[in-house]
Amino acid sequence: MEKAEIIKLLNEDITGEIEAILIYMRNSFVTENCPPSRKMEEVAKDEMRHTEWLAELIVDLGGTPSMEHKALNFGKEGAEGFLTRLIGLEEGAIAQYKDHIKKISDEEITKKLKHILEEEEGHLKEFKEHLEKLKK
């Protein structure tokens, strides 16, 4: 795979991370002070770190990190609605990272993507656990 193609995929990952950061931070601010709101904030900070790692990979390849994001969908109001939306974002990120790992043959890059993937899988698990607790 050409460097330009890898840079394009990594920029797609940055776009997803930025969308998550903005949604998670906003939702953490407007959700009452409860465990899910704190988790949203913590995960947003993880996503910021992922963005930094991805940007470093892009720069190392000679590219420029994109700082774009999609139109923001915060989910239905309230902790349950927000968590449902965040679960969807994590599921989408997991699928995208798995796809990009398959497509990219550079071991250094895929090692970093696999680390991010593991964290995203952890986020998904935590968000699902918080949603289940709210439903009880």
Please report the domains of the chain, with CATH numbers, ordered by start residue. 3-135 (1.20.1260.10)
Residue 136 scores a pLDDT above 80: no
Among 119, 102, 101, CA closest to 20: 119
Instruction: Supply the pLDDT for residue 52.
Output: 97
pLDDT in tens, 40-87: 899 999 999 999 999 999 999 999 999 888 889 898 888 899 999 999
Whether the model pTM is above 0.95: no
Give the SS3 label for residue 81: helix
| CA distance readout (Å), 77 to 16, 29, 129 | 21, 12, 19
Residue 33 scores a pLDDT above 80: no
Instruction: Supply the pLDDT for residue 64.
Output: 97
Residue 21 scores a pLDDT above 90: yes
